[in-house]
Amino acid sequence: MTSDRTEEHRQLRAVARVFTQREVAPHIEAWERAGELPRSLHQRAADAGILGVGYPEDAGGAGGDFLDLMVVLEEILTAGGSSGLCASLFTHLISIPHILASGHREHIERWVRPTLQGRLIGSLAITEPETGSDVAGIRTRARRDGECFVVDGAKTFITSGVRADFVTTAVRTGGPGHGGLSLLVIEKGTPGFSVSRKLEKMGWACSDTAELSFVGARVPASHLVGKEGSGFEQIVQQFVSERLMLAVHAYGTATRSLELALSWARTREAFGQPLSANQVIRHKLAEMARQADVAREYTWAVARRFVAGENVAQQAAMAKNTAVYACDFVVNEAVQIHGGMGYMRESEVERLYRDARILGIGGGTNEIMNEIIAKNLGL
């Protein structure tokens, strides 16, 4: 099941699959119960050569491009990993791109390189208790005081926020609206900065999620990422890659759910014959396969255009919704085919069903994606 035919991608798939089967699948249920991944997993992923895929070697990465990164994520998802695991293990995909793009060498050496080497964990803090999709409405304030910014405010739903060594934080350094936003790296241990609450979620249980508090936190002005007032532009520039990655999460989860449902239908007997002997089950599986495959092929087509430098903001929104809707359908049918076992916590499809629900919310809701599409249609 590959759209990419290069030998490099085949080798990368093999590495990612072996890593998942050895280092992830045997332990993922324990991590689900613990509510977080062990820090050592980041180091092992770096040692395996997959953590830094898609990032330049001179910044500590493993080289390759966005398509190589898609290969790694897809293989982890279909080999027994999970969307929650990918979100937490690869949180650097949203926490360091702005830092890397700024080109600030000291910042790259301080935060990017050690993160890609598995020695640090970073997170991205944008969402606030009063502000979700409306990024321009951010209220967390950073007031300049000499050589520091004094930060006051709160963030919520922050992936890897409990374990993070640093947080790339959207703050308001200027007036109202998007022009007053900046990005500031705030390190763990900064006085006035704390994890106020570890959040419990429906899914992504192995991915720690935090509520963060800033009360007079003094952050060196040198931790500013890019120019002051450029925060909104920096955030928006990463939307396409984030949405395509979530599309991979969605069709990857759908593909894994389909594989589990196929195996169950072939081996589970009812009324003296396998479930797959029933036409209604075969047709369910056929439709599940169609939707998962269409989502994958469309996402890859858009990703290739993205890597080629095209403006694919509209198509990325379409890819995310296409994959999310396919995933919603497939995980629901997979649980149905498993029957009562699909409702049990010991069943992998039960976890995949719960994990899938966030994909139509995070990175821009289904409704926001449709609004982007509508605007590009001139509506």
**CB within 8 A of 5, min separation 6: which ones?**
none
Q: Which of 185, 204, 240, 167 is nearest to 88 (CA)?
A: 204
Rounded-to-integer distance, Cα 170 and Cα 295, Å: 32
**Helix %, strand %, coil % for the chain, to 5?**
55, 15, 25
Q: Which of 344, 106, 363 is nearest to 248 (CA)?
A: 363
Q: Within a 10 A sphere around the Cβ of 253, how many other Cβ atoms?
A: 31
With H, G, I as helix, E, B as strand and everything else as coil, classify residue 162.
coil
Rounded-to-integer distance, Cα 379 and Cα 363, Å: 22
Rounded-to-integer distance, Cα 181 and Cα 229, Å: 5
State the catalytic residues.
242
Q: Which H, E and C letters describe 24-82, residue by residue? A: HCCCHHHHHHHCCCCHHHHHHHHHCCCCCECECHHHCCCECCHHHHHHHHHHHHHCCCC
Rounded-to-integer distance, Cα 155 and Cα 165, Å: 16
Buried b / exposed e across 29-41, counting CB within 10 Å, b at 16+?
Answer: eebbeebbbeeeb
Rounded-to-integer distance, Cα 324 and Cα 254, Å: 9
The beta strands (E) that lie in the chain are given as 122-125, 141-145, 148-159, 166-172, 181-187, 193-198, 209-220, 224-225, 269-270, 273-274
